[in-house]
Amino acid sequence: KNVRGAEGIISSDAAKVKVLVIPTDEELVIARDVERFKNQK
């Protein structure tokens, strides 16, 4: 299934586990983590 840019389940219906896609802006997550780390000092 094509779920590019959107949340979605990419595993087959017969799979024992569900595999989900969750889009993330990795650069923003890293920037927020760095800012939070800087403010802990």
Are 11 and 29 a contacting pair, CB within 8 Å? no
Residue 41 and residue 29: Cα distance in Å, rounded?
20
At 6 the pLDDT is 83
In a domain, residue 12? The reply is yes
Q: How big is the CA angle at 19 (ends 13 and 23), to the nearest 5 degrees?
A: 130
Spell out the per-residue pLDDT of the chain, length 41, in tens. Answer: 555 678 889 999 999 999 999 988 999 999 999 999 998 86
Here the tokens at position 26 are: 């990795």
Q: What residues make up the domain containing 13?
A: 8-39
The answer for residues whose C-beta is within 8 angstroms of residue 8's C-beta and 6 or more apart is: 1, 20, 21
- Any domain includes 32: yes
Number of domains, the chain: 1
